[in-house]
Structure 1
Amino acid sequence: MAQATRTFWTQAEALEFIMKRQKNNNSGEILYLFSFESQPEGKRRYQVADIDVFIHEYYQLPANQRHTYEIIIDKKPSKLYFDLEYDISANPKINGPRLTTNFIQFVLNFMRKRSDDLDYSIKDVLILDSTSTKKFSRHLIFQTKDPFLDNIAVGKFVNLILEDIHGCLINHQCQTVINSLTSQIQSNFDSLVFAKNLLSSLESHLLRFEQCNCIDDYTQLKFKDMIEFIVNKSDGSGITWFCDMGVYTKNRAFRLLRSSKFDKQECFTVAPENQWKPILRRVRPSSTEPNETERQTFMASLVYFNKPIRRFIHVDDENLTAIQTINSRVQRSNQSSYITEDVRKMSLDYPELINFMTNIARDKKDNGSGIRISRLYKVKEIQNDFRWVIHFMYVGDYKYCENIKRHHKQNNIYFIVDMRKGTYRQKCHDPDCKTFQGIEQSLPKHVTPWLMILDDEWENQTS
């Protein structure tokens, strides 16, 4: 084990050592890479270590010498993680722990929407705190059963989460919000799915929610609480996301539990609102060694996923450029198969269809006390030589299923549009209705302009 621990003065040398050792070692050895700040100007040294050796040495360091970071190695399996922070003086009204809990709630709901395999609770999230008098700071490390391919994939996944926040805010319309609209509000649907672009299209909308008390039907968060996911910068130059999007780069340094920055006193500790707990088996009596609780917590705080891997959490990354015209979409039809899941890109290609399908999932409540309404949260287009369909997914109150002739209590419904035939039918996520397909209905002619320009050969093809 001692041979597995070695110190280097450059990161490149340390990474090369790991690569060579793992190439020549067939025993499945797992090596971590850590960096140590040793000077105020950021000079670092790097240690490649077996985790047991590292923990033994790390817990013997005096607190004033622990300025240590995990290097999230490129192309290694990664947990879902977040770096949450904001300047306290620039955001005096924000309650940091409450905002952190709200953010976790949104992320957990987003994960459940994507897959039944991503059904987790706040008890599966380790929350670390390094707040100072000037800056609120939290690290979130999700203890999922499966990892992401690497931390670059994690960054893409987080962008999807931010896009969903953007969609919740940009699409919400209540009387209070409508009355506060101004001529300055614009829609930037041509923006790429990056955090900064999402912010630029949201900035003029944020003041709309000051008097809005509406609650998002799926996350059960107030919209005016969601806008706190966007915070003021410390220098007063604008706004930024509550979660730092700069931590998803190759070989990123992520500060460890019990470590502080070189010139700071605040080290990461378990946050007061943390609900994740280790599974206790035994306690080590030595005062110089971490006990089992401390060891499990430290392992949970690491981003590198070192458990047996069943599969990876999939992140859709088609990165297709939005097609501006129906003609260009038709010209692409026979080139290749593709799938895209971007509501905003679909809004460019099929604005009439998106508008129609957005408004279809709503009706009057049985008791006449209002309107059942659902939010369109996902549009999945599938096109190849045999199929051209779009799935419209919803969350909210409208869950009417043609199979049971009433609204489901929990599971949401969805519609499938057959683009060649210009028809749609209802399906739902309830296990008892899994094989059911609703009555095929024709879309209005003004919603299907693409049907007028399809050539005869394509129009006459059958599945």
Structure 2
Amino acid sequence: MRKSDWGNRLKKVEQLAQSFQKRPLSSHYKPRLSRPWQPSSIWKLFPRQCMAINFAQSCREDVHVFALEKEQAKVGQRIYLVTSYSELWHYYSTYRQSLMHCYELIPEGAVCKLYFDLEFHRPSNNDIDGKAMVASLIQYVSENLKEVFGIECSEKDVLNLDSSTEEKFSRHLIFNLPNAAFKDNMHVGRFVHAILQPVPSVHQRESDLENQMDGVTGDRGERGLIGRSQAKRSKHEERDLSFLLVKNKDGQEGLFVDLSVYTKNRNFRLYKSSKVGKNVAFTVAEDNKFISKPEMNYSVEESLFLSSLISNVSFTGQKILTWDLLDKKEGLCSVTYAQKSSTLNSVSDSLEGYQFSPHKEVDSFVLSVVKRDGIQGSIRRWNYFVSEQLIVYDIVKYRWCQNVNRFHKSNNIMILVDLKDEVWYQKCHDPACKNFRSSSYPLPQDICVSYLLTMDEEDQAYLMDNVGNIQLSQTPQPLAQKNQGFIVATCPYGEERESWGDQPDDQAYLEALEDVERTTVHLAENDVSDELLLQTVTELECCKDL
């Protein structure tokens, strides 16, 4: 080996040593929450959304998926965080710099709140009063909720968040309906699309609307039929909804409501978060009428944060609102219903009995449970409460109740699957069994996600240290993991990794190594201090440069 090559390598090592001294490796995140009513701390960061979702589904703790953006990352690149609501709030309110660009992931198929993303370009709409538009929209949506579902709603039930600038008017509306929520955000999208049909000129631009709703409307042939019956639509067409029309930078007409936010696994920006590269976070709007009601052990701010989460919906006492289409002989028609968790009156959400949930293996298991004395039950519908990792199956053709130890004559049963605790149990729709809950039974091992997916600390591509810094993990990853999308830091500051040792070593290099090893062993045997050992090695290195 040439002396110049050896000198270059030594200089590179010195540079790396200096860089690590300036920026030492991040220490592993250590939970510091000590509130006894909360679950154990979970804080995992993943480079891919699917990895985070898989881990969250496998975790027995009450955890959820969030997306984080970093200032120096590529445009659109996000890190995915799995943690509990309480723990996120604890660090979210503490480390604003590291967690200031945060999004909630609205899981596919999860029961969720009604929500809106509103915006328009201010310079192109000088004559528009944004606050008045928001108030009118809330009133209009509330009227539809009352007419279609029988749900009473007002501005006091709507959290109004603002992130407007001089350039753009921007609002998020989150409807915290009293004991009611939608089956999932796809149903929310269909409902929003339907009630906006009467907007002037929308019928002339149906194809444009359908393009915006791509992936939201289940059937593209419904068009004017997607809303409600002809009589009800005519009633609403009498109302002037021209206030929902705005102009973009090019002067083209469009909707005040963004119809593209009702897609699967949607990332929705959080309260107190801003977009990367921006410094305008969502705050409570001046015209907000919503007042949070903090529960025990929660502050007003944390309660407000929880109210802003779209999929933060519990199972108890909820009416599940849906908006579906059925293909009848006379043509397509829309079907809406409000299903209470303890009362069922409709069979509208069905496709030969039921549609698959996101966990088809669990669906198959439930079907095997509802079988007795030659009677095979089927699944009428399912609802997924992600906040509790609970799937509620409504069963038809099978009425065996463990409470009365016989088949009910008319009322059906429910099978509830707790994915977090990996158990299932039965409840009943019969009034006599209103408060009954059967014993919990373990799910089969082969359908429990925790047995199918295991994650160690080494599987994380990112770590957060004790002062809130999020950095790439320095743990080496196997090649197979890299091919699966893991991101591994090999050199700091984006330096290209050199091909160390890729070329065969020459004789001089090997002899130098042997000299160092012999000298080091000799000194160590004579109980020489570390300082002298380092000095000797340094002198040998200097001699090799001569």
TM-score normalised to the size of structure 1? Answer: 0.54
Aligned equivalents of 1:94, 1:246: Cα separation in 2? 23
2:180 aligned residue: 146
Q: Deviations over 1:223-258 (max 9, x none)?
A: 2xx21201112233x222111011101111111111
Classify the secondary structure of the residue corresponding to 1:318: strand
CA contact (8 A) 1:109 1:218 kept: no
Map of 1:62-461 to 2, 5 A cutoff?
Answer: 62-63=96-97, 65-116=99-150, 118-144=151-177, 145-163=179-197, 165-166=198-199, 169=200, 194=210, 223=240, 226-236=241-251, 238-280=252-294, 292-318=299-325, 320=327, 329=330, 340=334
Q: Deviations over 1:43-75 (max 9, x none)?
A: 211111111111111110135750111111111
Q: Displacement, 1:146?
A: 1.7
Q: Deviations over 1:398-441 (max 9, x none)?
A: xxxxxxxxxxxxxxxxxxxxxxxxxxxxxxxxxxxxxxxxxxxx
Q: Displacement, 1:126?
A: 0.3
Change (3 A) 1:267 1:300: same
CA contact (8 A) 2:67 2:104 kept: yes
Change (3 A) 1:229 1:12: same
CA contact (8 A) 2:92 2:99 kept: no
Classify the secondary structure of the residue corresponding to 1:15: helix
CA contact (8 A) 1:83 1:140 kept: yes
Aligned equivalents of 2:94, 2:249: Cα separation in 1? 36
CA contact (8 A) 2:187 2:323 kept: no
CA contact (8 A) 2:324 2:335 kept: no
Q: Displacement, 1:88?
A: 0.5
- 1:7 and 2:45 equivalent? yes
Aligned equivalents of 1:304, 1:239: Cα separation in 2? 32
Classify the secondary structure of the residue corresponding to 1:315: strand
Letter matched to residue 12 of structure 1: C
What number of residue pairs does the alignment pair up?
277
> Which segments of 5 or more consecutive residues in structure 2 lack a partner in the other structure?
1-38, 214-233, 337-347, 349-546
Classify the secondary structure of the residue corresponding to 1:103: helix
Change (3 A) 1:307 1:188: same
1:44 aligned residue: 78
Q: Displacement, 1:310?
A: 3.1
Aligned equivalents of 2:326, 2:138: Cα separation in 1? 26
Classify the secondary structure of the residue corresponding to 1:77: coil
CA contact (8 A) 1:146 1:309 kept: no
Aligned equivalents of 1:20, 1:35: Cα separation in 2? 18
More deviation, 102-111/301-310: 301-310
Superposition RMSD on alpha carbons, in Å?
3.4
Letter matched to residue 113 of structure 1: E
Change (3 A) 1:187 1:68: closer
CA contact (8 A) 1:40 1:263 kept: no
Q: Deviations over 1:440-463 (max 9, x none)?
A: xxxxxxxxxxxxxxxxxxxxxxxx
Change (3 A) 1:340 1:259: closer
Q: Displacement, 1:194?
A: 3.8
Change (3 A) 1:339 1:248: closer
TM-score normalised to the size of structure 2? Answer: 0.46
CA contact (8 A) 1:40 1:262 kept: no
CA contact (8 A) 1:159 1:194 kept: no
Q: Displacement, 1:308?
A: 2.7
CA contact (8 A) 1:162 1:195 kept: no
Q: Displacement, 1:318?
A: 1.4
Change (3 A) 1:66 1:121: same
Quote the sequence identity (%): 31
Letter matched to residue 306 of structure 2: M
1:426 aligned residue: none
CA contact (8 A) 2:68 2:99 kept: no
CA contact (8 A) 1:63 1:259 kept: no
Letter matched to residue 16 of structure 1: N
Q: Deviations over 1:324-383 (max 9, x none)?
A: xxxx84xx9xxxxx86469xxxxxxxxxxxxxxxxxxxxxxxxxxxxxxxxxxxxxxx9x
Aligned equivalents of 1:340, 1:121: Cα separation in 2? 25
Aligned equivalents of 2:99, 2:43: Cα separation in 1? 19
Letter matched to residue 62 of structure 1: R
Change (3 A) 1:5 1:281: closer
Aligned equivalents of 1:242, 1:306: Cα separation in 2? 27
- Structure with bigger gyration radius: 2
CA contact (8 A) 1:149 1:312 kept: no
Aligned equivalents of 1:126, 1:133: Cα separation in 2? 22
CA contact (8 A) 1:129 1:270 kept: yes
CA contact (8 A) 2:180 2:321 kept: no
Classify the secondary structure of the residue corresponding to 2:147: helix
CA contact (8 A) 1:7 1:48 kept: yes
Aligned equivalents of 2:203, 2:156: Cα separation in 1? 38
CA contact (8 A) 1:260 1:267 kept: yes
Aligned equivalents of 2:40, 2:323: Cα separation in 1? 41
CA contact (8 A) 2:67 2:78 kept: yes
- 1:35 and 2:35 equivalent? no
> Which segments of 5 or more consecutive residues in structure 1 lack a partner in the other structure?
171-185, 198-216, 285-290, 322-327, 333-337, 343-381, 383-463
Aligned equivalents of 1:87, 1:194: Cα separation in 2? 22
Point out which structure has higher relative CO (alpha carbons under 8 A, 6+ apart).
2
Change (3 A) 1:105 1:47: same
